[in-house]
Structures are given as C-alpha cells and as structure tokens.
Structure 1
Amino acid sequence: MSETRAMVLAKPGQAVLPYTPTSMTRRARRRTVGLGIVAWIIGLIFFGPILWMLLTSLHSETNAATNPPNLFAPLTLQSYANFFGAASGASPWPPLINSLSMSIGSTAIVLILSIPAAYALAIRPVRKWSDVMFFFLTTKMLPMVAGLLPVYLIAKSLGLLDTVGLMVIIYTSMNLPIAVWMMRSFFAEIPLEVIEAAQVDGAGLLLTFRRIIIPLASPGIIATALICFIFSWNELLFASVLTSTTSYTAPVFLTSFVTSEGLFLSKVCAASIAISLPVLAAGFAAQDKLVQGLSLGAIK
C-alpha cells in the first residue's frame, strides 16, 4: 500500500522513495523544531530592546553612557530611587494617577457605548450596516495632528484645557471606532440560536445581555478594554498640547527627563520601565482572555 502511494505521488523521472511513517514523523519533528527556533529568534528580536532598556536602567549614569556599553558594570537601583523619590524635582505620582484615571474612565465609557453599537451592527444589524462600519473606519484615516488645532481651540473656548475630563473625551473618541470594529466581530460569532432560545424562554433584552451575550463575548470585551487602555495610556501628542501643569500624563512626564545637559539615559530607562508597569500588569492579568478574545472566530 505504501509503495503504491509512493509510486502515485512520484513525478516522471523522479526516484521513488518508500513511504514510511517513521520518516514522516522525523520530518514533522524537524519542522516543529525549526519553527520553534524561528519563533524564539523573533521573540528575542522583539524583546531585545526591552531587555536592553531594563539593563540600562540598572546601571549608573556614567556606565550607561559609555560607548561601547559595559554589560558587566555594577548594577544599582539608584535610577529607580531617584524616579520614585522625586529627586528630579517633580513627583511621578500625579501624572501616573492622571494617566490611570483617564485610561480607566475612557475605557469604561468606550465599553458602555461600543457594546450596544456592536449588538446593533452584528446581532440585530441595521440597514446599511457596512456603511456605518466604513464611517467608523474613516475617522481613523485623519492624521491626529490635523485635528489638534481645532480641538485645542474648542477646548480653550470651553475652558477645558488642562483637565482630566477633556482627555477622557479625547481618548474615548479615539478608541471608540476601534472598539466598535472589534466588538462587532466578537458579537458576530455568537450563535443566534442561543439568543433566540433565550427570547423564547421569556428573557428580555437586558436579561439576554447579562446572561447570554456578555458571558459569551467576555474574552472579546476584555481584549477590547485592554487595547483601549493601552492606547489611552501611551498617547502623547494630545496630552502634551492639551495639558500643562495639572493634568499632564505619564508619557508627558517621561519627556521631562530628556535634557540638553548632563547624563539622563539610565534615568529615562528607569522611568520608562516604571511607567510601563501598569500596562504590563494589566496585560499579564488578562493574558488568557486577551489571547482568547483576539483569536475568537479565527478557527471555525
């Protein structure tokens, strides 16, 4: 049987090789090992700059500024002590609290608005829903800097400059189109038969949302919330222009460590690691839901 299969698969003029399960197993094993090595190399390439930044933050400013870098220099936590101890003259806690409140507030509003919109576009589609989705997509085609001046003038006329509420509105408008697109794709994977069965049993819209739709789409909701939180936390352009002394965010505070005089490389790396910790903690806590949500619907 195996020889017949090998003869059928062989091309004219090609040597016929016997088909054995052992050779196929070895070939699959080599392919798996090769893909694993490639995956590790790609992972190290992406993780390399982060590891380098962490190592630089643990060196003194003198050792961090050497060229070529001294990898075996003594390690110290002085840069982190200076950052959290406000040795630079400004405490890091106000910008961190501002970024946290803006990110959480805007993410909550985005979820409140995007879940009903995704329900209307996926489970109970409105007329010309594809045009609505395209409209949401076009809002991301405009460069952010193009809308900066109108937003600044409107905020100034309303007296909203340098306020947390203004940044929450800005971040909500920035993340809402992405959230609607993501949530719509997640809700589209929910079987309509389950929702119809709940309605036949007498469940209303709110009960169906709470007992059926939200549990089934929870991985997608968590993935959407995490992505919106990350986008809000890392935003710099609008925060650097629309905030100044009261509501400036952590990325804006990070830019203050770059000076024209003196050494600052280790201090900047330590501040970058410290400011990235909330996002890393959120991603680590929700990593299973994030992977499940982003892969939802990928395999039928």
Structure 2
Amino acid sequence: MKSPAKSPSKSPVKGRALGLVAWLAGILFFLPIAWMALTSFHSEQDAATNPPSLAASLTLDGYRDFFGAGGGASPWPSLINSAVASVVSTLFVLVLALPASYALSIRPVKKWTDVLFFFLSTKMLPVVAGLLPLYLFAKNTGLLDNIWLLVILYTSMNLPIAVWMMQSFLSEVPKAIIEAAQIDGARLPTILARVVAPIALPGIAATSLICFIFSWNELLFARVLSGVVAQTAPVFLTGFITSQGLFLAKVCAASLVISLPVLAAGFAAQDKLVQGLSLGAVK
C-alpha cells in the first residue's frame, strides 16, 4: 500500500525573498510620507534647498502658520466642514446601502446582476461632465456654498461603491440565522439591525472607512460648489499655493495635519478593515 504523497514544503529562500520584497514595497510607500513629515518641521529656506538637507534645524513654524498663529486664516472651520460632510454622508450611505445590499444578496431581486451593473455604471460618468449642471442647480436653488449640498453629493457618489461592496459581504451571512429570526417574528428593520449588521460588521467597517476616505479627500465638488462657509480641508490646503510661490514646509505641515483623521480612522479600524476586505475571498 502506497503512503500518501507529502505536500512539498515551501522553500525557506523563497519565503525570505517574498518577505524582503514585502518590506521593500512597504518602505517604498512609506518614504514619501516620512519625507513629508520631516519637511514639515523645516524652515521654508531649508525645505527649498536642492538637494534637501536631512541635518537642517527643526522648527514648528509650518504648523504655527497652518493654525493661523501668524495672522493667517484658521483651518478649524474647514476641518469641521470636512468632518461633517464625511461622517454624515457615510452614515447616509450605510442607511441606504444596507437594505439595498440585503435585497441583492440575501433576498435577491430578479436580474440582480443587472441592478449591480447599473449601480456601478453610475461611476463611469466623469465627474467633470456633471459639474456644470450641478453648479447651475445649486445656484438656482440657493445651495451654493452650503455644506449640506456636499453631503448629498458625497452620499450619491459613494452609494454605488457601498452597495457593490456590501452585497458581497452580506452574501456570506448564513440564511438559516435570518430564517430563524423571521420564525421568531422579527421584522426587516430588526433583522437588519440585530442580525445582519453584527455578522457583517467587518464588511460594514471596511465600507464605511472607504466612503469616509473618498469624502474626506474629495476636492473638485468642494472647490467649485463651496466658497467660504462650506470650504473643506482639501480646498483650504490649496490656499497655500499662492502667486508668491509654493511654501513647501507649510504645505507639508498642512497635508500631514489634514491626513491625520484618515490615518487615525484606518488605524482604529484596521482589524475590521482586513476582515472586511478578505470576507468572501475564500469560498
């Protein structure tokens, strides 16, 4: 009787090589961020040298200028506008995407693949193509420079992606649990809130984080449709590029501060993000 064939073990050299490639890729992606952080602590004169000096003296002048200590505009209204637009639009997206994803995965409608393609096809229209009609609509309705207009636009912008992602996440929810809840008399809102949402929490967290990042980083709509009242953080950042030139240290300081909320959200939800993005990858 033949003994079962042993599976070939992975080569240690190959494993070390893959590990080295992963480290190099990680360092390659991290270097620009590290360089931006270092430049933000330099003076404008040291930041503008070519090649830049690593041994230059450190200062907080860039951060003082960003927060308006030198008499400039305060960034807090713009940061608050970005937080409101990103958080509220993400909540709206989740409220709308969860029932839609439930209908497309657990209780699939007829031709649900066509429905999914329709959702995704709305992202194929270039943003610039719809900018003029949106501007005229906002102008005629008095919604120019209004943060709630950005909330509506960010919700519609992220909703197709959220439905597409959460459909794959919710398809992994065991249908037997939902049927048991229905037998116990639970209605659809109760099933979504107390049965489906806790099981699909990693996928919901991943979807929320991606929608938050897209909303926080959006520039074109905010640049054209907002002014002073509804100005967001990315629009405020472009104000550091003036006719006098590019103040590199100040721009790096502003970019680092504006990136911190996204980095903090990603770090706080990293375990849920990994689980959510890998959910459904293995059948």
For Structure 1 versus Structure 2, the TM-score category normalised by the shorter chain is over 0.9
Corresponding letter in the other structure for 2:39: T
Which of 145, 157, 166 is residue 183 of structure 1 equivalent to? 166
Deviation at 1:262, TM superposition (A): 4.8
| Aligned-partner Cα distance in 2 for 1:262–1:200 | 68
Counterpart residue number, 2:251: 268
Are 2:219 and 2:235, in contact at CA under 8 Å, matched by a contact in 1?
Answer: yes
Are 2:66 and 2:253, in contact at CA under 8 Å, matched by a contact in 1?
Answer: yes
Counterpart residue number, 2:80: 97
Give the TM-score normalised by structure 2: 0.95
Q: Judging changes above 3 Å, is the alpha-carbon distance between structure 1 residues 263 and 139 closer, same or farther for their aligned structure 2 residues?
A: closer
| Aligned-partner Cα distance in 2 for 1:50–1:129 | 42
| Aligned-partner Cα distance in 1 for 2:129–2:17 | 46
* 1:249 to 2:232 alignment: yes
Which of 261, 267, 278 is residue 278 of structure 1 equivalent to? 261
Are 2:43 and 2:58, in contact at CA under 8 Å, matched by a contact in 1?
Answer: yes
Counterpart residue number, 2:45: 62
Corresponding letter in the other structure for 1:214: A
Counterpart residue number, 1:220: 203
* 1:37 to 2:20 alignment: yes
Deviation at 1:145, TM superposition (A): 0.5
* 1:230 to 2:221 alignment: no
Are 1:62 and 1:263, in contact at CA under 8 Å, matched by a contact in 2?
Answer: no
Cα deviation digits, residues 208-255 of structure 1 (max 9, x gap): 223220110111111111111100000000100000111110000000
Counterpart residue number, 2:67: 84
| Aligned-partner Cα distance in 1 for 2:69–2:232 | 16
| Aligned-partner Cα distance in 1 for 2:56–2:211 | 39
Corresponding letter in the other structure for 1:51: A
Counterpart residue number, 2:180: 197
Are 2:99 and 2:192, in contact at CA under 8 Å, matched by a contact in 1?
Answer: no
Q: Judging changes above 3 Å, is the alpha-carbon distance between structure 1 residues 199 and 137 closer, same or farther for their aligned structure 2 residues?
A: same
Larger Rg: 1
Are 2:67 and 2:73, in contact at CA under 8 Å, matched by a contact in 1?
Answer: no
Q: Judging changes above 3 Å, is the alpha-carbon distance between structure 1 residues 140 and 263 closer, same or farther for their aligned structure 2 residues?
A: closer
Identical columns (%): 66
Corresponding letter in the other structure for 1:131: D
Corresponding letter in the other structure for 1:168: V
Corresponding letter in the other structure for 1:147: G
**Secondary structure at the counterpart of residue 69 of structure 1:** coil
| Mean Cα deviation higher: 200-209 or 47-56 | 200-209
In the alignment of these two chains, the number of paired residues is 281
Corresponding letter in the other structure for 2:17: G
Are 2:82 and 2:233, in contact at CA under 8 Å, matched by a contact in 1?
Answer: yes
Counterpart residue number, 1:140: 123
* 1:108 to 2:101 alignment: no
Gaps of 5+ in 2: none
Cα deviation digits, residues 81-139 of structure 1 (max 9, x gap): 22123426210000000000011111111111000000111111111111111111111
Counterpart residue number, 1:14: none
Corresponding letter in the other structure for 1:239: A
Deviation at 1:153, TM superposition (A): 0.4
Cα deviation digits, residues 2-38 of structure 1 (max 9, x gap): 9xx8xxxxxxxxxxxxx9x9xx76x622221111100
Gaps of 5+ in 1: 6-18
Are 1:198 and 1:208, in contact at CA under 8 Å, matched by a contact in 2?
Answer: yes
Deviation at 1:263, TM superposition (A): 5.4
Cα deviation digits, residues 243-300 of structure 1 (max 9, x gap): 0111110000000001221550000000000001111111111111111111111123
Counterpart residue number, 1:16: none
Give the TM-score normalised by structure 1: 0.89
Deviation at 1:190, TM superposition (A): 0.9
RMSD over aligned Cα atoms = 1.9
Are 1:59 and 1:266, in contact at CA under 8 Å, matched by a contact in 2?
Answer: yes
Corresponding letter in the other structure for 1:270: A
Deviation at 1:161, TM superposition (A): 0.2
Are 2:40 and 2:252, in contact at CA under 8 Å, matched by a contact in 1?
Answer: yes
* 1:288 to 2:275 alignment: no
